[in-house]
Amino acid sequence: MQLLAFMSSLSRVSTDQKLIEMWLHGRPISTQKEYRRDVNRFFCFIGKSLQECQLEDLQDYSTHLDGQGIKSSTKKRKLNVVKSLFTFATKLNYTRFNVAAALKMPKGDTALAGRILKASEVLKLINCPKLSVRDRTFLRFVYATGVRVSEACRLKWEDFQERDSGEVQVTVLGKGEKLRTVLVPISVWVEMEQLHGHECVFVGATGNAIDRVMAHQIIKNAAVESGVNSKVSMHWLRHCNASHALSRGASLALVRDSLGHASVATSDKYLHSNPTDSTSNYLGL
């Protein structure tokens, strides 16, 4: 009886907005901001409530995104956000059926290989002599650990711990509020220690932690000064971390745990994007 009463109370969510806030509750602030933006754009397009939405509305929105000239991976992310909201709404009996479950998703992104720099290019980028100590250290840290830019921006000195062995580890709060611990190379840690002076590790001129916009500008400046691919973004360093580690013998499980992937399947895409062997090597051509 208590369970039935609980489910009944959940089904009495009064408005879409209240449901959205419940769906976002507990997620990282940066994730909440992105998800809220994507969902608001969806509602602006369909012009009706969640309970009135039909599969054809979702299909029309998917077609609309095709006309925006966005990447397949971006479209997939936007649709996954909407599908997540519908799944949540159905679990709470806010909607009777999960109409989004039948929505066909875009095929996987095939452009990953183009966003993985050679190791020599990464070194050229992160060691650019014209960068400030903070900017160079920030890039080196993100590449060395494979953390997401949002994770790196909010790090505080208390998140780091020196081991008896002399190694340094950092505890990162990732997606879904999941904690993971990764090692920081001593060479990177030595550079980081020069940045002490604020609660946060990476801070701007005002003393506030650098944000995603500043981080984007840092790597763009490095690309210009070093002559590396001008399309590079901070997330490319995360791709490079995974790909380079795998090519040098790291296991899929280690990459999954270090980068905070949901499963080995996510990590496996880096092997497919940069294979070390192929049938073409056995044809004698």
Identify the weakest region by mean pLDDT among 52-61, 63-72, 77-86, 112-121: 112-121
Q: How many residues does the chain have?
A: 285
Q: Tell me what pLDDT residue 134 has.
A: 94
pLDDT digits (tens, 9 = 90+) for 207-239: 888 998 899 999 999 999 999 888 898 988 988
Distance CA 136, CA 77 (A): 30
Q: Is the confidence at residue 122, as pLDDT, over 80?
A: yes
How many C-beta atoms lie closer than 10 Å to residue 64's C-beta?
Answer: 14
Please, what sign has the CA dihedral across residues 77, 80, 82, 88? negative
User: Taking the complete model, does pTM exceed 0.85, yes or no?
Assistant: no
Distance CA 285, CA 280 (A): 8
Distance CA 207, CA 255 (A): 33
Structure tokens at 12: 């009495």
Chain centroid offset of residue 103 CA:
23
The SS3 assignment for 262 reads coil
pLDDT digits (tens, 9 = 90+) for 168-213: 999 998 877 788 999 999 999 999 999 988 899 999 878 888 998 8
CB neighbour list of residue 208: distance below 8 Å, 6 or more residues apart? 200
Q: Tell me what pLDDT residue 5 has.
A: 46
Among 94, 88, 103, 102, CA closest to 35:
88
**Residues pairing with 162 in the sheet:** 168
Distance CA 54, CA 49 (A): 10
CB neighbour list of residue 99: distance below 8 Å, 6 or more residues apart? 53, 54, 55, 58, 86
Q: Tell me what pLDDT residue 274 has.
A: 62
For the segment(s) 2-102, the CATH number from 1.10.1740.10, 1.10.10.10, 1.10.150.130, 3.90.550.10 is: 1.10.150.130
Structure tokens at 16: 């879409």
113-273 has which fold? hpI Integrase; Chain A (1.10.443)
Distance CA 278, CA 271 (A): 12
Distance CA 49, CA 20 (A): 12
149, 235 Cβ separation under 8 angstroms: yes
How many C-beta atoms lie closer than 10 Å to residue 204's C-beta?
Answer: 13
Q: Tell me what pLDDT residue 283 has.
A: 54
255, 164 Cβ separation under 8 angstroms: no
Q: Tell me what pLDDT residue 266 has.
A: 65
Domain ranges within the chain, ordered by starting residue? 2-102, 113-273
